Structure 1
Amino acid sequence: MHASIFLQADDIYKLMEVPFAISGDHKTDSEIEAFIGTNSKGRQGRYYKLAAEKFGLVKNSNNSSELTDTGKKFIGLKDNK
C-alpha cells in the first residue's frame, strides 16, 4: 500500500482553499502553503495539494498544479458561508 493514500491534510477548510490558491497563480508547494496559512517550508502545502488532487479538485501537469474541471466548478460555487 502506497503511503500517499494516507492523507496528511487534516483541516478540510485549508483543503478547500487549495483550488483558490491555484486559481490565484499560487502553484508551488510553498506558495500554496503561504496562501492557506501554514508554515513548514512547503511540506504542508504539498500535503494539502495532494489531498486536493485525491478529491479531484486539482491535478499536476508537468510539475505544475492546475485546476480540474471539478476544481473550476468548485471555485465558482456560490458562497453561502
Structure 2
Amino acid sequence: EIVDAFFRERSIVNHHLASFNDFLPTKDNPNSRMQRIVDDARVSEDSTERGIIRLDVQKTKSSIYVRVGRRRDARGVVNPSAEPTIFIG
C-alpha cells in the first residue's frame, strides 16, 4: 500500500529524474550527493585528509597529489556553496 500510494503521487520516471538530479553537482545543487562522496573520499583508512589523493613519492620522485572536492579552510571546514575543484600539484 505504501508503494502504491507513493507512485500515485509521483511517477517512476519523475522519481528517477529527481534522484539523478540530486546526484549530479550543478550550480543549483553544489552540495550534491556525488560532491559529498568526493569531499569525504579517503585513499586509505589511516589518511586524515579527505578529498586528497597523494601519489607514492618513491614512484613519482616528488610530492604530487590530486585534490578533488572543495577547498577546506585551516580548520578543515568546507563551504558547501564553493565551486567544486580538481587540483593536481
Q: Which structure's CA Rg is the greater one? A: 2
- TM-score by shorter chain over 0.5: no
TM-score, structure 2 as length reference: 0.24
More helix by share: 1
TM-score, structure 1 as length reference: 0.25
